[in-house]
């Protein structure tokens, strides 16, 4: 019986590593001839989960191994400005490529000394690490791109890459055409330029970003974290593409001590009565915006659980020491019977609770899949990266969400955008409206289809 070894190279950010680990677990469970090594690259500012925590998460799953790339090779700092992140990441990855080659070569040498060892079968490369396709070519093995976002942003970026490389269009000029819309095959609605990722408009970052999509054409295939029933029209347009989703950690963890009070509070709330606000590991707002969110929540009268965090020292957000730093004590007094403000939250545990009836989300793709898995409708408030496109897809294309904003900008030439409390109130009321049966039924239907897709793999 021939054995094969895959090497995964994920972006060392929590969402990407978790998705890579989940698909790795599924693969080795389905084929006992397969083993997987996951390279953990310690990239400055991103702070991936520790190897020990990853080992704990695969307890009981055999044939998955972790290989750390030494920190001494990772001295370049990533730019904390999201627009420049792709530039510094590209430079960093080129510098780390020899160490990746060395790690894989050591693996091959280890196999050659053991007759019963598996044969290196291929690399599975993160969507931002397509330069590593060169490494696969040097070893004479196929490469696959693991696309941790949805098919919508993949189709849009591939379209822009084609405009750039085959039609010599400077797509950064769309920056001055914010009221324009693009008609793209596979989408039901024209896509507004104003929902494009910000780095598309940057003269330096855009070519580097689009080069990822040029490189993807060299891969043996693209594994997209989606499923046919969710994005059928878009996925059908992409050979060779494999819809492998929904890839999420759908099993809530045991109730951690730090979240016990949160879960106890939720236990006391009526079924589907609470709106949960959570904006991801990098989500934070200005003090002015936080106050507007508070106004919107209070005016809505809806029960709420709000994960409120502030900007941290690196790319991640961090907890407040005291929420009174940013919110008046009177707010807590007035909402004591209906609301709870918390710091970091175990999102899967909370979304899986029966009292949650709606989710105000930054629309990271993992968050969307988790919310759909648990049958919880979304109100969109995208913050950065591809999240505006994700929001457009779930609101306009799939009709699985309501809109608070589709085109929010954390910062811009005119300063930070402020969403007023009245607008937030309207979005929350619409999300939690008891008679909003169309979206709730759609979400329930997609939830069931997503679970069925996972069982059929």
For residue 77, pLDDT beyond 70 = no
Tokens of 40: 């953990």
Tokens of 162: 């084609």
The model's confidence at residue 396, banded by pLDDT at 50, 70 and 90, is: very high
Question: Is 218:133 a contact under the CB 8 Å cutoff?
Answer: yes
**334 phi and psi angles, rounded to 5 deg:** -70, -25
- For 244-298, write each residue's pLDDT tens digit: 999 988 765 555 655 789 999 999 999 999 999 999 888 899 999 999 999 999 9
Percent of the chain clearing pLDDT 90 (strictly above) = 70
In the CATH scheme, what is the code of domain 256-455? Answer: 3.40.50.2000
> What is the C-alpha separation between 12 and 15, in angstroms, rounded?
9
Q: Which residue has the higher pLDDT, 320 or 58?
A: 320
**pLDDT given for residue 84 in this prediction:** 60
Q: Does residue 246 have a cis peptide bond before it, meaning omega lies within 30 degrees of 0?
A: yes
For residue 70, pLDDT beyond 80 = no
> What is the C-alpha separation between 24 and 61, in angstroms, rounded?
10
**pLDDT given for residue 237 in this prediction:** 65
**pLDDT given for residue 117 in this prediction:** 84
In sequence order, the 6+-apart residues with CB closer than 8 A to the CB of 62 are 28
Rounded (10°) angle between helices 228-235 and 437-456 = 90
> What is the C-alpha separation between 168 and 171, in angstroms, rounded?
9
For residue 18, pLDDT beyond 80 = yes
Domain 4-148 falls in which CATH fold? Rossmann fold (3.40.50)
Task: Tell how strand 241-243 and strand 309-311 pair up.
Answer: unpaired
Q: Which residues pair with 69 in a beta bridge?
A: 41
Residue 407 designated active-site: no
For residue 192, pLDDT beyond 70 = yes
**pLDDT given for residue 43 in this prediction:** 76
Residue 16 designated active-site: yes
In the predicted model, what is the mean pLDDT of the chain? 89
3-state secondary structure of 307: strand
In sequence order, the 6+-apart residues with CB closer than 8 A to the CB of 364 are 15, 280, 387, 390
**pLDDT given for residue 238 in this prediction:** 62
3-state secondary structure of 100: helix
Q: What is the mean pLDDT of residues 86-110?
A: 88
Q: What is the mean pLDDT of residues 14-35?
A: 90
**pLDDT given for residue 426 in this prediction:** 97
Q: What is the DSSP letter of 12?
A: S
- For 118-150, write each residue's pLDDT tens digit: 999 999 999 999 999 999 999 999 999 999 999
For residue 29, pLDDT beyond 80 = yes
Q: Write out the DSSP string of 189-217.
A: SPEEGGGS-GGGG-TTHHHHHHHHHHHHT
Output the CA–CA distances (angstroms, integers) from residue 162 to 171, 184, 256, 261, 387, in the order listed: 10, 12, 47, 51, 22
Domain residue extents for the chain: 4-148, 256-455
**pLDDT given for residue 78 in this prediction:** 55
The single residue of 73, 79, 126, 236 carrying the catalytic annotation is 126
Residue 322: CB atoms within 10 Å: 7
The model's confidence at residue 59, banded by pLDDT at 50, 70 and 90, is: low
Question: Is 401:380 a contact under the CB 8 Å cutoff?
Answer: yes
Output the CA–CA distances (angstroms, integers) from residue 226 to 152, 231, 288, in the order listed: 10, 7, 36
Question: Is 282:314 a contact under the CB 8 Å cutoff?
Answer: no
**pLDDT given for residue 281 in this prediction:** 83
Percent of the chain clearing pLDDT 70 (strictly above) = 88
> What is the C-alpha separation between 222 and 34, in angstroms, rounded?
19
Q: What residue ranges in 119-219 does DSSP mark as E strands?
A: 119-126, 143-147, 181-182, 191-192
**pLDDT given for residue 135 in this prediction:** 96
**pLDDT given for residue 253 in this prediction:** 58
CA atoms within 13 A on the CB side of 314: 11
**pLDDT given for residue 333 in this prediction:** 96
Q: Do domains 4-148 and 256-455 have the same CATH topology?
A: yes
| Burial 91-130, CB ≥16 within 10 A → b, else e | ebbeebbebbeebbeebeeebeeeeeebebbbbbbbbbbb
Range from 1-5, 16-20, 317-321, 445-449 that averages highest in pLDDT: 445-449
The model's confidence at residue 353, banded by pLDDT at 50, 70 and 90, is: very high
Q: What is the mean pLDDT of residues 397-403?
A: 96
Task: Tell how strand 181-182 and strand 191-192 pair up.
Answer: antiparallel
**pLDDT given for residue 345 in this prediction:** 86
Tokens of 188: 């039901």
> What is the C-alpha separation between 432 and 428, in angstroms, rounded?
6
Range in 194-203, 243-252, 384-393, 425-434 the model is least confident about: 243-252
Question: Is 57:24 a contact under the CB 8 Å cutoff?
Answer: no
């Amino acid at each position: 019986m021939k054995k094969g070894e895959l090497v995964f190279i994920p972006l060392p950010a929590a969402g990407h590593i978790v998705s890579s680990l989940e698909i790795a677990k599924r693969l080795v469970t389905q084929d006992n001839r397969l083993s997987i090594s996951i390279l953990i690259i310690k990239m400055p500012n991103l702070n991936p989960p520790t190897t020990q925590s990853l080992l704990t998460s695969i307890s009981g799953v055999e044939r998955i191994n972790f290989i750390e790339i030494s920190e001494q090779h990772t001295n370049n700092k990533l730019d904390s400005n999201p627009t420049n992140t792709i530039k510094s990441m590209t430079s960093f990855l080129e510098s780390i490529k020899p160490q990746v080659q060395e790690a894989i070569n050591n693996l091959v040498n280890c196999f050659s000394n053991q007759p019963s060892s598996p044969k290196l079968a291929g690399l599975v490369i993160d969507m931002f690490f397509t330069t590593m396709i060169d490494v696969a070519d040097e070893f004479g093995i196929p490469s696959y791109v693991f696309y941790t976002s949805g098919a919508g942003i993949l189709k849009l970026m591939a379209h822009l890459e084609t405009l750039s490389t085959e039609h010599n269009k400077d797509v950064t000029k769309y920056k001055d055409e914010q009221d324009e819309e693009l008609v793209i095959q596979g989408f039901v609605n024209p896509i507004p330029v104003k929902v494009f990722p910000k780095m598309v408009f940057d003269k330096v970052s855009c070519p580097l970003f689009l080069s990822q999509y040029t490189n993807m054409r060299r891969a043996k295939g693209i594994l997209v974290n989606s499923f046919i029933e969710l994005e059928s029209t878009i996925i059908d347009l992409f050979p060779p593409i494999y819809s492998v989703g929904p890839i999420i950690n759908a099993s809530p963890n045991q109730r951690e001590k730090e979240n016990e009070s949160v879960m106890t509070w939720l236990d006391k709330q009526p079924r589907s009565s609470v709106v949960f606000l959570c904006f991801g590991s990098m989500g934070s707002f200005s003090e002015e915006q936080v106050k507007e969110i508070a106004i919107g929540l209070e005016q809505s009268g809806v029960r709420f659980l709000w994960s409120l965090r502030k900007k941290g020292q690196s790319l991640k957000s961090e907890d407040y020491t005291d929420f009174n730093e940013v919110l008046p004590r009177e707010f807590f007094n007035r909402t004591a019977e209906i609301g709870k403000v918390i710091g970091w939250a175990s999102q899967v545990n909370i979304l899986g609770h029966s009292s949650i009836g709606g989710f105000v989300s930054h629309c990271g793709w993992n968050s969307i899949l988790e919310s759909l898995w648990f049958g919880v409708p979304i109100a969109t408030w995208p913050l950065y990266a591809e999240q505006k496109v994700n929001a457009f897809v779930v609101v306009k294309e799939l009709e699985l969400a309501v809109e608070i904003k589709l085109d929010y900008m954390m910062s811009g030439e005119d300063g930070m955008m402020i969403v007023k409390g009245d607008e937030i109130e309207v979005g929350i009321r619409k999300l939690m409206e008891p008679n909003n049966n169309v979206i709730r039924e759609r979400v329930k239907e997609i939830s069931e289809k997503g679970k069925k897709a996972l069982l059929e793999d």
